[in-house]
Chains A and B, each alone.
Chain A
Amino acid sequence: MSERSLMKGNEALAEAAMRAGCKCFFGYPITPQTEISAYLAKKMSANGGLFLQAESEIAAINMVLGAASTGTRCMTSSSSPGISLKSEGISYIAASDLPCVIINVQRGGPGLGGIQPSQADYWQATKGLGHGDFHILVYAPASVQEMVDMAVNAFDKADQYRMPAMILADGLLGQMMEPVTFPEIKPMEYDKSWAASGHKNKREHNIINSLFLTPEVLENSVIERFERYRKIEETETDAEIYLCNDADIVVCAFGATARVAKSAVNLARGKGIKAGLFRPKTLWPFPVNELKDAVKTAKKILSVEMNMGQMIDDIKLATECKIPVSFFGRTGGVIPKPMEILDKIVDLGGDI
């Protein structure tokens, strides 16, 4: 079944989550992701699921903790300030090895910031989503279609690795309308024998917990989790590589920004500048090997982001600082224009 429909990013993502078997959604209103809640409020119960508006983002993420503990597919959605509130819960969920999906339709920050699109939560999502040693999977869609595909995939990967997965979108993707095709969902079976859903007098009691008072026991639980993370870093990276084969300048951009950057790359090619685009689709794990491949011929790298350059360090690490990395970004909700990026590419191209 491959119907094509014209949908807003937020609504398409909500529909995809439902189709992926999400049975419980808990959220608290915040712009620019409110359409996700509105859509699910209308459709969830007819689909045998639950929509519940929580009293805060803190409550919402802890409701997710509860539902996920029972082995039920569940999701919460918010935007930047709300994600900060969820961070305690996300740390507990990660530490309890629970699968769930978290949506961040980013807006400008810090503080209350603004309500226009932003990518200023890159650091938060990939490095500091809560206290303690842990990671979560982070996917960065660049189209409404990817909002759908990545949401479906996120539920599977969360279940497969027993960890939270985040869709790191932005207000632009959330609000824009594009044609989408909903993929056929292949129902997969995941082991949920760990779930606290009532032992029915058939097994020992299950405990969902993140407290380990003996340091060595806690250390071992973290080490075990990091072994899983290493496997994920080897197998779960994904990136789009565009015109990088012979590129002198590789532009790195993720999410909606990558679309603008792609236009700039095409314009640069029109001017005879050998530019290419590298777009990480997974931000954690960062596609290190894919980037290494993409910059084989590159003399310069230009990171383009809707923030102050939060991805630069990951690019430098992946390329072992062998290629100079420049930056062009707009922040606070300002979307970069293709011509601005082109100017920067032309600048860099001048002395190649």
Chain B
Amino acid sequence: MAVAYKRPHAYCDVPTHYCPGCTHGIVHRILSEVIDEMGIEGDTIGICPVGCSVMAYDYFNCDMIEAPHGRAPAVATGVKRAKPDSYVFTYQGDGDLAAIGTCETVHAATRGENIVVIFINNTTYGMTGGQMAPTTLPGQVTQTTPFGRDTSVQGFPVKVCEMLSTLSGTALAQRVAVDSVPHINEAKKAIRKAFENQKEKRGFSIVEVLSTCPTNWGLSPVEALDRLRNEMIPYYPLGVYKDVNVREEGKEDA
């Protein structure tokens, strides 16, 4: 009988704590598949954020480090600079990456750190119970925007790929989604590309994954996917925002 589903080796065979219908699991799976396909598990070091994926250190079979909230890109920098031949990735939520950790994110990118950043944009602080995130959409109701995000009071969402693609150290900035099989395939290709970049030392690579948080959105898993499609993608268009080799760019600049 043909094997229809095989757990990637890089994805530990343990139950996760994610809510039913949460897309963190999908992203874990495709990331693990990429690690397997490239045969790099033994050389990979992953950095977890503080957020719903804080315990991802138990889910990936490579060596793992748990960083303080927002500091994963700095931790990754330390790892990569100490062990330049390893593969280093961070896995971060929107609060982690684009609020408390904005400084670390921007500077890791502008230094052109050869790391991969997997950025889970679910427009909310999942772990702490659904407060406003830097990516919360205008009008979106959260625990701390009970009347909807009012841009005249709470300002505007951060568009991370757009912002980071302006930095010379960014090699890849790509936004993907995990709401459908074609999109998931696209997401996996982007993650693969990010790791290939790291192999070739092309610079900082970020893959922003539009994700769901059915629990805090107050939606069923299927409704949550619909919201991702109908509300998030129009505001956060999918696509490649930047794809260069920053080392070669640098040479041209000089």
Contacts and interface: CB of A to CB of B under 8 A. Distances in A.
The yes or no verdict on A and B being binding partners is yes
A63 B75 contact: yes
Contacts, number: 136
Nearest to A56: B103
The main secondary structure of chain B at its interface with chain A is helix
Contacts of A205: 60-64
B63 A63 contact: no
Interface residues of A, number: 41
Contacts of A201: 41-42
Contacts of A208: 64-66
Interface in A56-70: 56, 58-60, 62-70
B159 interface: no
A197 B83 contact: yes
Nearest to A52: B81
Contacts of A72: 82-83
Q: Which of A69, A74, A89 has the most CB of B within 10 A?
A: A69
Interface in B98-147: 103-104, 106-107
Contacts of B57: 207, 209
A96 B78 CA distance: 15
Contact of B79 (A56, A60, A67): A67
Contacts of A58: 71, 74, 103-104
A228 interface: no
Interface string A194-235: 011111111001111111000000000000000000000000
A134 interface: no
B76 interface: yes
Interface stretch (B43-51, B148-156, B237-245): B43-51
A55 B210 CA distance: 28
Given A199-B63, A201-B42, 15 more contacts: A62-B67, A65-B68, A67-B81, A88-B68, A196-B65, A197-B86, A198-B42, A198-B43, A198-B45, A205-B61, A205-B63, A205-B64, A207-B57, A207-B65, A209-B66
Interface of B: 41-45, 47, 54-55, 57-58, 60-68, 71, 74-83, 86, 103-104, 106-107
